[in-house]
């Protein structure tokens, strides 16, 4: 496997995760009543959309083809969030818990890819920026979770 293809494969994995996260946040907006939570989820969805655009640009820069949709696992997770919200007495709490769980999984994906010390500096910098934003979102979500509970 060529070096550029290997990098593109790693970036495509993150791209799919960002598609999934964006769709999950858009789904969450439809399942909460609280306007502050709706705005929070909207900002997260926009952020993940921006991450996806940046990753697509990097993949194309390496002459590879970016993925164009999310994963089956992401669809299952979103469906689980919807189902869980239907049966939960405090659905906003359940949705926030799932959002935090999803962000923590995403954070681990970024950490794993960043262990590769052969990444070009521009990609390393981009991924560090994304990772920091995801960590900040987790911290904010945990604050929101305390407010909802």
**What mean pLDDT comes out for the span 39-64?**
92
Q: Using an 8 Å Cβ cutoff, are 107 and 134 in contact?
A: yes
Q: How far apart are CA 19 and CA 15, in angstroms?
A: 6
Domain count within the chain: 1
Confidence band for 84, pLDDT divided at 50, 70 and 90: low
0.75 surpassed by pTM: yes
Q: At what angle do helices 72-87 and 91-114 cross, to 10 degrees?
A: 160
What is the per-residue pLDDT across 85-122, written as a single tens digit (0 to 9) for each? 544 545 788 788 888 888 898 999 999 999 988 889 99
Q: Provide the residue range defining the domain that includes 134.
A: 3-148
- Position of tokens 């993925």? 67
On the CB side of 144, CA atoms within 13 Å amount to 24
* CATH code assigned at 138: 1.20.1260.10
């Amino acid at each position: 496997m060529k070096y550029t293809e290997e990098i593109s494969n790693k970036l495509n994995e993150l791209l799919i995760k960002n598609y999934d996260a964006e769709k999950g946040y858009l789904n969450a907006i439809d399942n909460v009543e609280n306007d502050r939570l709706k705005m929070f989820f909207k900002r997260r969805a926009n952020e993940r959309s921006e991450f996806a655009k940046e990753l697509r640009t990097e993949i194309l820069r390496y002459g590879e083809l970016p993925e164009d949709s999310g994963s089956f696992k992401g669809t299952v997770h979103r469906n689980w969030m919807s189902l869980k919200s239907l049966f939960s007495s405090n659905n906003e709490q359940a949705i926030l818990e799932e959002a935090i769980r999803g962000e923590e999984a995403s954070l681990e994906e970024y950490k794993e890819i960043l262990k590769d010390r052969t990444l070009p500096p521009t990609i390393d910098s981009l991924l560090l920026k994304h990772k920091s934003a995801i960590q900040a979102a987790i911290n904010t979500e945990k604050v929101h979770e305390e407010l909802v509970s």
